[in-house]
Protein backbone atom coordinates (compact mmCIF):
# COMPACT_ATOMS: atom_id res chain seq x y z
CA UNK A 1 0.00 0.00 0.00
CA UNK A 2 1.53 3.33 -1.05
CA UNK A 3 1.95 6.10 1.46
CA UNK A 4 0.03 9.32 0.81
CA UNK A 5 2.09 12.16 -0.57
CA UNK A 6 3.32 14.68 1.94
CA UNK A 7 1.74 18.13 1.78
CA UNK A 8 3.74 20.78 0.00
CA UNK A 9 5.37 23.19 2.44
CA UNK A 10 4.80 26.82 1.48
CA UNK A 11 7.04 29.13 3.50
CA UNK A 12 5.43 32.57 3.73
CA UNK A 13 7.87 35.42 4.34
CA UNK A 14 6.96 39.04 4.89
CA UNK A 15 9.02 40.45 2.04
CA UNK A 16 11.11 43.62 1.87
CA UNK A 17 12.47 46.20 -0.53
CA UNK A 18 15.90 45.25 0.81
CA UNK A 19 17.29 42.53 -1.48
CA UNK A 20 19.16 40.94 1.44
CA UNK A 21 15.82 39.88 2.90
CA UNK A 22 14.72 37.67 0.01
CA UNK A 23 18.26 36.30 -0.43
CA UNK A 24 18.32 35.21 3.22
CA UNK A 25 14.85 33.66 3.01
CA UNK A 26 15.89 31.63 -0.03
CA UNK A 27 19.07 30.50 1.75
CA UNK A 28 16.99 29.31 4.69
CA UNK A 29 14.61 27.42 2.40
CA UNK A 30 17.59 25.72 0.75
CA UNK A 31 18.71 24.61 4.21
CA UNK A 32 15.23 23.20 4.90
CA UNK A 33 15.29 21.24 1.64
CA UNK A 34 18.72 19.84 2.51
CA UNK A 35 17.47 18.69 5.92
CA UNK A 36 14.37 16.98 4.47
CA UNK A 37 15.24 15.57 1.01
CA UNK A 38 12.14 14.75 -0.96
CA UNK A 39 9.96 17.37 0.68
CA UNK A 40 8.70 19.96 -1.76
CA UNK A 41 9.21 23.43 -0.33
CA UNK A 42 7.98 26.60 -2.03
CA UNK A 43 8.69 30.19 -1.02
CA UNK A 44 6.12 32.98 -1.14
CA UNK A 45 6.04 36.60 0.02
CA UNK A 46 3.27 38.74 1.47
CA UNK A 47 4.63 41.96 -0.01
CA UNK A 48 7.44 43.57 -2.04
CA UNK A 49 8.87 40.33 -3.49
CA UNK A 50 7.72 37.64 -5.86
CA UNK A 51 6.31 35.07 -6.04
CA UNK A 52 3.25 36.19 -4.11
CA UNK A 53 1.36 33.83 -1.82
CA UNK A 54 -1.64 33.87 -4.15
CA UNK A 55 0.56 33.16 -7.16
CA UNK A 56 2.21 30.15 -5.52
CA UNK A 57 -1.11 28.70 -4.35
CA UNK A 58 -2.70 29.18 -7.77
CA UNK A 59 0.24 27.40 -9.42
CA UNK A 60 0.06 24.48 -7.00
CA UNK A 61 -3.67 24.10 -7.60
CA UNK A 62 -3.12 24.18 -11.36
CA UNK A 63 -0.63 21.32 -10.98
CA UNK A 64 -3.22 19.23 -9.19
CA UNK A 65 -1.71 19.55 -5.72
CA UNK A 66 -4.31 19.01 -3.01
CA UNK A 67 -2.54 19.38 0.37
CA UNK A 68 -0.49 22.35 1.53
CA UNK A 69 1.03 23.42 4.83
CA UNK A 70 1.39 27.20 4.90
CA UNK A 71 4.12 28.19 7.35
CA UNK A 72 4.46 31.83 8.47
CA UNK A 73 8.14 32.73 8.53
CA UNK A 74 7.59 34.75 11.69
CA UNK A 75 9.10 34.59 15.17
CA UNK A 76 6.05 35.76 17.10
CA UNK A 77 2.31 35.40 16.72
CA UNK A 78 1.30 38.96 15.92
CA UNK A 79 -0.78 40.76 13.27
CA UNK A 80 0.65 39.04 10.18
CA UNK A 81 0.09 35.55 11.61
CA UNK A 82 -3.33 36.36 13.08
CA UNK A 83 -4.79 38.45 10.27
CA UNK A 84 -2.77 38.99 7.07
CA UNK A 85 -1.83 35.41 6.33
CA UNK A 86 -5.24 33.85 7.13
CA UNK A 87 -6.86 36.48 4.89
CA UNK A 88 -4.59 35.56 1.97
CA UNK A 89 -5.10 31.84 2.52
CA UNK A 90 -8.87 32.28 2.42
CA UNK A 91 -8.48 33.49 -1.17
CA UNK A 92 -6.73 30.28 -2.25
CA UNK A 93 -8.28 27.96 -4.84
CA UNK A 94 -10.99 25.84 -3.24
CA UNK A 95 -9.39 22.56 -4.36
CA UNK A 96 -6.47 23.15 -1.97
CA UNK A 97 -6.60 21.81 1.57
CA UNK A 98 -4.44 24.30 3.49
CA UNK A 99 -3.28 23.97 7.06
CA UNK A 100 -1.60 27.01 8.60
CA UNK A 101 1.37 26.05 10.75
CA UNK A 102 2.31 27.88 13.93
CA UNK A 103 4.91 30.64 13.91
CA UNK A 104 8.48 29.63 14.68
CA UNK A 105 8.90 31.02 18.17
CA UNK A 106 9.36 30.52 20.93
CA UNK A 107 11.60 27.47 20.69
CA UNK A 108 14.74 26.25 22.46
CA UNK A 109 16.21 25.74 19.00
CA UNK A 110 15.88 29.45 18.29
CA UNK A 111 17.65 30.25 21.55
CA UNK A 112 20.40 27.86 20.49
CA UNK A 113 20.61 29.70 17.17
CA UNK A 114 20.94 33.03 19.01
CA UNK A 115 23.85 31.62 20.99
CA UNK A 116 25.41 30.25 17.80
CA UNK A 117 25.36 33.74 16.29
CA UNK A 118 26.88 35.27 19.45
CA UNK A 119 29.72 32.75 19.44
CA UNK A 120 30.28 33.32 15.72
CA UNK A 121 30.59 37.03 16.54
CA UNK A 122 33.41 36.35 18.97
CA UNK A 123 32.00 35.34 22.34
CA UNK A 124 32.77 32.00 24.00
CA UNK A 125 30.83 30.02 26.62
CA UNK A 126 33.40 31.20 29.16
CA UNK A 127 32.23 34.79 28.57
CA UNK A 128 28.62 34.14 29.57
CA UNK A 129 28.75 35.02 33.27
CA UNK A 130 30.26 38.45 32.62
CA UNK A 131 28.29 39.31 29.46
CA UNK A 132 24.94 41.03 29.34
CA UNK A 133 22.82 40.31 26.27
CA UNK A 134 20.27 42.52 24.54
CA UNK A 135 17.61 40.35 22.91
CA UNK A 136 16.69 42.76 20.13
CA UNK A 137 13.51 42.07 18.16
CA UNK A 138 11.70 44.00 15.45
CA UNK A 139 8.88 45.00 17.81
CA UNK A 140 5.11 44.80 17.57
CA UNK A 141 1.95 46.56 18.71
CA UNK A 142 0.60 43.16 19.76
CA UNK A 143 0.97 42.72 23.55
CA UNK A 144 1.13 38.94 23.17
CA UNK A 145 4.19 39.22 20.95
CA UNK A 146 5.90 41.67 23.32
CA UNK A 147 5.20 39.38 26.28
CA UNK A 148 6.74 36.42 24.44
CA UNK A 149 9.98 38.33 23.81
CA UNK A 150 10.17 39.34 27.47
CA UNK A 151 9.64 35.72 28.56
CA UNK A 152 12.36 34.46 26.20
CA UNK A 153 14.75 37.00 27.74
CA UNK A 154 13.86 35.88 31.28
CA UNK A 155 14.39 32.22 30.46
CA UNK A 156 17.62 32.84 28.56
CA UNK A 157 19.03 34.72 31.54
CA UNK A 158 18.87 31.50 33.57
CA UNK A 159 21.34 29.75 31.26
CA UNK A 160 24.31 31.64 32.70
CA UNK A 161 24.43 35.11 31.18
CA UNK A 162 25.14 38.11 33.42
CA UNK A 163 21.77 39.51 32.38
CA UNK A 164 19.43 39.48 29.37
CA UNK A 165 17.21 42.40 28.44
CA UNK A 166 14.61 42.60 25.66
CA UNK A 167 14.64 45.52 23.24
CA UNK A 168 12.58 46.53 20.22
CA UNK A 169 13.34 48.32 16.97
CA UNK A 170 9.80 49.68 16.65
CA UNK A 171 6.36 49.90 18.29
CA UNK A 172 7.61 49.16 21.83
CA UNK A 173 10.30 50.15 24.30
CA UNK A 174 13.10 49.96 25.26
CA UNK A 175 15.21 50.53 22.17
CA UNK A 176 18.44 48.59 21.67
CA UNK A 177 20.66 51.50 22.73
CA UNK A 178 18.69 51.95 25.96
CA UNK A 179 19.05 48.27 26.85
CA UNK A 180 22.79 48.45 26.14
CA UNK A 181 23.12 51.36 28.58
CA UNK A 182 21.04 49.50 31.19
CA UNK A 183 23.33 46.48 31.04
CA UNK A 184 26.38 48.73 31.41
CA UNK A 185 24.78 50.31 34.46
CA UNK A 186 24.12 46.86 35.92
CA UNK A 187 27.86 46.21 35.88
CA UNK A 188 28.10 43.63 33.10
CA UNK A 189 31.71 43.62 31.89
CA UNK A 190 30.69 43.07 28.28
CA UNK A 191 27.50 43.78 26.38
CA UNK A 192 26.34 41.83 23.33
CA UNK A 193 23.37 42.42 21.07
CA UNK A 194 21.59 39.36 19.68
CA UNK A 195 19.10 40.29 16.92
CA UNK A 196 16.02 38.10 17.23
CA UNK A 197 15.18 38.60 13.57
CA UNK A 198 15.29 36.23 10.62
CA UNK A 199 16.67 38.36 7.82
CA UNK A 200 18.35 41.72 7.17
CA UNK A 201 16.28 44.79 6.42
CA UNK A 202 15.20 48.19 7.71
CA UNK A 203 14.48 47.21 11.33
CA UNK A 204 17.54 44.96 11.72
CA UNK A 205 19.63 47.89 10.46
CA UNK A 206 18.05 50.01 13.20
CA UNK A 207 19.01 47.35 15.73
CA UNK A 208 22.58 47.45 14.44
CA UNK A 209 22.75 51.24 14.83
CA UNK A 210 21.45 50.89 18.39
CA UNK A 211 24.21 48.37 19.10
CA UNK A 212 26.95 50.95 18.50
CA UNK A 213 27.74 51.06 22.22
CA UNK A 214 27.90 47.28 22.62
CA UNK A 215 31.02 45.12 22.48
CA UNK A 216 29.52 42.45 20.24
CA UNK A 217 26.81 42.50 17.59
CA UNK A 218 25.65 39.10 16.36
CA UNK A 219 24.28 38.43 12.90
CA UNK A 220 20.59 37.83 12.19
CA UNK A 221 19.35 34.26 12.61
CA UNK A 222 19.14 33.71 8.86
CA UNK A 223 19.71 30.18 7.53
CA UNK A 224 21.01 28.75 10.82
CA UNK A 225 20.48 24.98 10.90
CA UNK A 226 18.46 25.32 14.11
CA UNK A 227 16.01 27.65 12.36
CA UNK A 228 15.57 25.14 9.54
CA UNK A 229 14.85 22.44 12.12
CA UNK A 230 12.15 24.60 13.71
CA UNK A 231 10.51 25.06 10.31
CA UNK A 232 10.35 21.30 9.87
CA UNK A 233 9.00 20.83 13.40
CA UNK A 234 6.18 23.28 12.68
CA UNK A 235 5.49 21.56 9.36
CA UNK A 236 5.22 18.15 11.04
CA UNK A 237 2.96 19.51 13.78
CA UNK A 238 0.63 21.02 11.19
CA UNK A 239 0.43 18.09 8.79
CA UNK A 240 0.10 15.34 11.37
CA UNK A 241 -0.05 16.24 15.06
CA UNK A 242 0.76 12.67 16.09
CA UNK A 243 4.14 12.94 14.36
CA UNK A 244 5.20 15.80 16.62
CA UNK A 245 4.24 13.74 19.66
CA UNK A 246 6.61 10.92 18.76
CA UNK A 247 9.36 13.12 17.30
CA UNK A 248 9.02 11.73 13.79
**Spatial CA neighbour of 212 closest among 246, 178, 189:** 178
Q: Check: CB of residue 12 under 8 Å from CB of residue 89.
A: no
- Whether cis (ω within 30° of 0) applies to the bond prior to 106 is yes
CA distance 235 to 247: 12
CA distance 149 to 138: 10
- pLDDT tens digits in sequence order for the chain, 248 residues long: 345 679 999 999 999 999 999 999 999 999 999 999 999 999 999 999 999 999 999 999 999 999 999 999 999 988 778 889 999 999 999 999 999 999 999 999 999 999 999 999 999 999 999 999 999 999 999 999 999 999 999 999 999 999 999 999 998 999 999 999 999 999 999 999 999 999 999 999 999 999 999 999 999 999 999 999 999 999 999 998 654 444 43
Amino acid sequence: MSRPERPVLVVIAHGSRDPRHAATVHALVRRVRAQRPGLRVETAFLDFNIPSVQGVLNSLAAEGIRDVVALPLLLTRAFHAKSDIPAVLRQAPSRLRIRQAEVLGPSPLLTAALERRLYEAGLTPADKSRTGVVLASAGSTDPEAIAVIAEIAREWRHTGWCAVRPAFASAALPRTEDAVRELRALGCERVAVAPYVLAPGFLPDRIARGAAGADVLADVLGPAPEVARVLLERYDEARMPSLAAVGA
